[in-house]
Amino acid sequence: MPERVSAPSPAPLPDRSASPQELFRHGLRLLLAKDIPGWVGLWAEDGVMEFPFAPPGWPRRLEGRPAIAAYMAPYPDRIDLHAFPEEDLRIHRTDDPRTIVAEMRGVGRLVGTGAPFDMTYIAVVTVEHGRITSYRDYWNPLAVQETGVTLAGSNR
C-alpha cells in the first residue's frame, strides 16, 4: 500500500494579494529551497495540475492538494534543482488577469546518478484568491524517459 502523504496548510505569502506572477516566482524560490510542503501550500485545496504531454504510465491529471503533495513529495530526492535561470524565465500575462503563461528552464542534477538535469518548461497557471487553482505543465517527457527519472504517481 502506498504511503499516504498529507497535504500541508497553505503557505503564507509575502502579500496575500500577490499577483499570479509574484506567486509563481515565490513558488520557484520554494522549489529551489526544496520546500515542497511550502510549494504545495501555495495551492487551493481543490487545485488541479495537468500534464498534457505525460507519457504512458505517468499521471495526466492530479486533483486536489493531497494528490499534488503526494506527486511532488519525492521530487528533491530525485532531482536536485540548482536554478531557474532568469534569462530563461519569461512570464506572459493573458487576457485573463488570473492566468499567466510561464516559459522557464530548470537546471540541476539527477540525485541517483549525478547526471546533469536541464529541462525547459511551459506552464499555464491560474491563481484565484492568492492560491494556484490550475497548473498545466508542458514539459518534455522524452527527457525524463532517457534518464530514468520517476516521480510519485508514475508507473516507471
- Give me the helices (H) in the chain, please: 20-32, 36-40, 65-72, 75-78, 141-147
pLDDT at 144: 61
The answer to whether residues 27 and 8 touch, using CB atoms and an 8 Å cutoff, is no
Beta-carbon contacts of residue 137 (< 8 Å; ≥ 6 apart): 49, 50, 51, 121, 123
pLDDT exceeds 80 at position 67: yes
The answer to whether residues 54 and 141 touch, using CB atoms and an 8 Å cutoff, is yes
Tens digits of residue pLDDT in 75-123: 999 999 999 999 999 999 999 999 999 999 999 999 999 999 999 999 9
Confidence of residue 12 (pLDDT cuts 50, 70, 90): low
The answer to whether residues 36 and 76 touch, using CB atoms and an 8 Å cutoff, is yes
Confidence of residue 141 (pLDDT cuts 50, 70, 90): confident
